[in-house]
Amino acid sequence: MTKRYRERLEEVEVAAGSAAGTDAAAPVAFRWRGQRYRVLVVLGHWHEDEGWWRQGDGLPQRIERTDLWRVEARNGVPTRGVYELVRRGEQWRLDRVWD
């Protein structure tokens, strides 16, 4: 089962030597609701290119490139979970959790 959160992450650590604005910026840990989660494995990474969309009134709306990461992580307890992390610009959020 999946649950959607769409909550801002307090902190995200990326792999050493990678810049936050590049494809290589794989998350290695993140902080959510005061708990630190360590990424055990990246299950998938994809992105939605920036593009032009239309608002309801027909005017163009620019959408920034969005990177999505599906990771298996845990926060110090034996249980693991699957989390979908989303980065748009410099902002990170937790989008979904599978249990």
Residue range 9-17: mean pLDDT, rounded: 89
- Looking at the chain, the number of H-run helices and the number of E-run strands are 0, 9
Band of residue 99 on the pLDDT scale cut at 50, 70, 90: confident
What CA–CA distance (Å, rounded) separates 55 from 90? 24
Domain ranges of the chain: 2-98
Q: Is 69 helix (H, G, I), strand (E, B) or coil?
A: strand
Return the DSSP state at 77. S
Beta bridge partners of 72: 41, 82
Structure-block tokens of residue 62: 């620019």
Q: Is 49 helix (H, G, I), strand (E, B) or coil?
A: coil
What CA–CA distance (Å, rounded) separates 57 from 83? 35
Cα maximum dimension of the chain: 50
Residue of higher predicted confidence among 65 and 4: 4
Q: Using one digit for the tens of pLDDT, what is the confidence trace for 31-79?
A: 999 999 999 999 999 988 777 677 788 887 777 889 999 999 999 888 8
